[in-house]
Amino acid sequence: MNSFVTGQERMQRAANIENWAKAAGGIAQVGSAIQQIQNLGSIWKNSDLSGGQKLFQTITNLSISLPILANGFTKATVALGLMKVATTEE
């Protein structure tokens, strides 16, 4: 077995590591967004808030968490797709 690693193989390994990191970051973003969305229940259960305050906090929560959720899915999907393409090319 040849232990010599070519420059191309090193570049491919580096790209694979980078794609795994991107996928992990995307998955972490999805998890964070889901947690923020789950907080909506505590907003609506809070009897100290008026209906208007609850609505405002809900809109604020969703306006922050939904783009994070979409971006996380996109990052993870693209990174995983790149890894799949890289493995089929080998």
Per residue in 11-53, pLDDT tens?
888 888 888 898 899 999 999 999 999 999 999 999 999 999 9
Q: What CA–CA distance (Å, rounded) separates 57 from 42?
A: 11
Instruction: Examine residue 50 and state whether it is found in any structural domain, yes or no.
Output: yes
Query: Can you give the pLDDT at residue 80?
Result: 81
Binned at pLDDT 50, 70 and 90, residue 88 comes out as low
pLDDT band at 89 (very low <50, low <70, confident <90, very high): low
Burial of 11 (0-12, 13-18, 19+ CB in 10 A): exposed
Is position 4 within any domain?
A: no
Q: Which domain holds residue 20?
A: 10-89
Residue 23 covered by a domain: yes
The domain total for the chain is 1
